[in-house]
Amino acid sequence: MDTVSSPAAVIAAILLTAACLEAVSPSVRWTAAAILGGGTAGTIKLGMGATRVGSTATTGGAANPLLSALELVASLVMSVMVIVVPMLTALGVIMVMGLVLRALWRRAVRVKPAAAAR
């Protein structure tokens, strides 16, 4: 099964990365897509394959269902993080901007009465 899924994952990653890099020249887009997208997907698939081979060699395949379950949980966690982390980051930026504006407002309010007394 990895014989088909590994090249498919690399090709899909290259195409998705290239689709995200619209604003650059085609030569840079496809070079970056091959290196970044394809390289990342290939590394991950290689690591998963090596882990499965090691698991099969050491446990006779008994630990493979556990590895598959862990892989599923990791995929779910990462999928949720892709959605939640940007929202939390935006919330944090808004909160910091609010604090900065509040501090600037307080400073401006304190300075005005002192300037008017002179």
Residue 114 has pLDDT above 60, yes or no: no
The answer to pTM > 0.75 is: no
pLDDT of residue 115: 58
pLDDT of residue 15: 96
Residue 113 has pLDDT above 80, yes or no: no
> What tokens does 81 get?
């993080």
- Phi, psi of 76, deg, nearest 5: -65, -45
Residues above pLDDT 70, as percent of the chain: 92
pLDDT of residue 10: 93
Q: Which of 90, 71, 69, 67 is nearest to 79 (CA)?
A: 71
The three-class DSSP label of residue 107 is helix
What's the rounded Cα separation, in Å, for the pair 67 and 55? 8
Average pLDDT, the chain: 90
More confident residue, 48 or 35: 35
pLDDT of residue 5: 84
